[in-house]
Structure 1
């Protein structure tokens, strides 16, 4: 499954509504509202949690994914050494990474692409990706229907 910074993941594009996502992936295995009133869809087969923002007319704006076949710019992510992946992505044009260490976990964050690589014991175990925000603090929705 391809991680597409600023666009989405796989065939999902930031800005899709729940009905658009359901046309691509089918009904979620679980759906609920989070503490902010956002809709959250869980898809077990994709190991993905999708968030649809309430204050943005329930547009798809964030994904947390642990699928073992995740890749970004042709680079395999899941269970790969975080430092190695960071260097490879930097060489491919993603040079700015903020790093945060908490116990056994490291979070590598690329603000420009609103991309977080979560590593435990130095191996990537999770990817978080969000819709980007422009200079006026508005989301940049890529889905046009």
Structure 2
């Protein structure tokens, strides 16, 4: 599973509809609506959560994973130390990061790529990526 910043993960692209995703991954293990009425697909084996935004005609707009095989810049990141991965991000011009700490877990956020790293005990435990915005302040769909 390769994260493609601003596009998605592997062949899952921001802007896809539910039927496009199910053609690729099959039916989700769990499907529900969140508090904002967005549709959420969960794929347990893939450790992947996909969110289809209600306000955007249920287009795929957000992905969360804890899968240890997920890669960014051809490097696995889940389970790695933040201090080892941060230089890779800098090298690929992924900066700056805003930080937030909740109960000891640090979240690093890069707005340009709508990319979150959640770090617990210096170990990356979760990655979130979202569709980015165009210059017109609209989603820049890739599908």
Q: Secondary structure of the equivalent of 1:22?
A: helix
- Taking structure 2 as the reference length, the TM-score comes to 0.96
For 1:33, the equivalent position in structure 2 comes to 33
Gaps of 5+ in 2: none
Could you tell me how far 1:103 is from its partner in structure 2? 2.8
Q: Secondary structure of the equivalent of 1:86?
A: helix
Are 2:141 and 1:137 equivalent residues in the alignment?
no
Could you tell me how far 1:88 is from its partner in structure 2? 1.3
Regions of 4+ moved over 6 Å: none
1:1-145 aligned at under 5 Å gives the runs 1-143=1-143
CA distance in 2, matches of 1:56, 1:70: 27
RMSD (Å), alpha carbons:
1.0
Aligned length: 143
Q: Secondary structure of the equivalent of 1:107?
A: strand
Q: Secondary structure of the equivalent of 2:22?
A: helix
Could you tell me how far 1:84 is from its partner in structure 2? 2.0
Deviation larger for 54-63 or 131-140 = 131-140
- Taking structure 1 as the reference length, the TM-score comes to 0.95
